[in-house]
Copies of this chain bind each other. A is one copy, B any other.
Amino acid sequence: MQLGLIGLGRMGQIVADRCLDAGHDVVAFDLDEDAVAAAADAGAEPADSVADLATQLAATDGPSCVWLMVPAGPAVDAALDDLESHLDGDDVVVDGGNSYYEDSVRRAEACPAAYLDCGTSGGPAGAELGFSLMVGGPAWAYEALEPVFDAVATGPDGHARMGPSGAGHYVKMVHNGVEYALMQAYGEGFELLHEGRYDLDLEAVAGVWNNGAVIRSWLLELCEEAFREEGTALGDVADRIEGGSTGTWTVQEGLEQEVPVPLIYTALAERFGSRADEGRFSRRLANRLRYGFGRHEVQRRS
């Protein structure tokens, strides 16, 4: 089938390539002309604007299907604004980015076309394997897009409709919260092994764990890769973790639902703490209080 694709960054290129490889027609647009040219070289029809992309899709029989692979936030709304006059109720728009699920609910209500929110997991590594796709929105629209989802995902098992609008990005939000906690859990284990009683080769540890141990996983394979590429002491990798929006949303949703998520919270808090370049005020106060009640020497910045 034919798919319009808006956004040709790393993830968008993979969507294009996997669709083309599966025999679909792709009409591709990005603000970056070079990215459009690269997609055209790979077999896509280039479009020089959203309007041009919409026009090309309309020229073909059947409803228009557009996949947005742009950064979550204003870029999604901007693309939808540009598309709006070209769409009607038979058409389908997919947002494959990390949008906040409430934004997706709002956009689904406003969009003249059917709107599918599609959480996409797997990262650039999905180029070969395919992604895991968590989809929310009308069942008919999901079914209409199944050939595309089969191509972009790992296959028919790699995508599923989670529920009505927002459900896809909701499940993806929670996925990412769990991801934070899993990373930190492995990190605690490796930190203890690194600091502990034995002089261990952490690549070998991760390797043997990945072969049959209960905790084997793709993230653990990435740990193994990290130790192989950076060394068992992780070289000059810094103690600083960027990102955090989806984890923050997950914790906020836990507060709303009164569901405790202490591991996810702690993993998120480690990110915040890693970025506190001036040190943690709470710990500075505790340092000073130990002088207050016990006359323990105050540690001072040199």
Chain A interfacial positions (CB closer than 8 Å to B) = 10, 121-126, 129-134, 136, 153-155, 157-160, 162-164, 166-167, 170-171, 174-175, 177-200, 204-205, 207-220, 222-223, 225-226, 230, 234, 236-244, 248, 250-255, 257-275, 278-290, 292-301
Contacts and interface: CB of A to CB of B under 8 A. Distances in A.
Q: In terms of DSSP, what is the predominant structure of the interface of chain A? A: helix
A258 B196 CA distance: 10
- Stoichiometry (number of copies): 4
B283 A241 contact: yes
A287 B238 contact: yes
Contacts of A259: 188, 191-192, 195-196, 272
A248 B220 CA distance: 23
Contact of A295 (B10, B207, B240, B280): B10
Contacts of A299: 237-238, 240-242
A267 B260 CA distance: 10
Q: Which 5 A-B pairs have the closest CB atoms?
A: A239-B279, A187-B282, A217-B217, A260-B269, A222-B292
A185 B189 contact: no
Contact of A262 (B136, B154, B164, B269): B269
Given A280-B270, A285-B190, A289-B226, A198 B212 contact: no
A181 B263 contact: yes
Contact of A267 (B197, B263, B271): B263
Contact of A239 (B170, B204, B219, B283): B283
B170 A212 contact: no
Contacts of A158: 208, 211-212
A175 B283 CA distance: 18
23 contacts: A122-B214, A132-B216, A160-B208, A162-B205, A171-B205, A177-B192, A185-B185, A187-B280, A190-B281, A226-B285, A237-B285, A237-B287, A237-B288, A237-B301, A239-B284, A239-B287, A242-B287, A242-B297, A252-B252, A255-B268, A260-B269, A263-B263, A266-B266
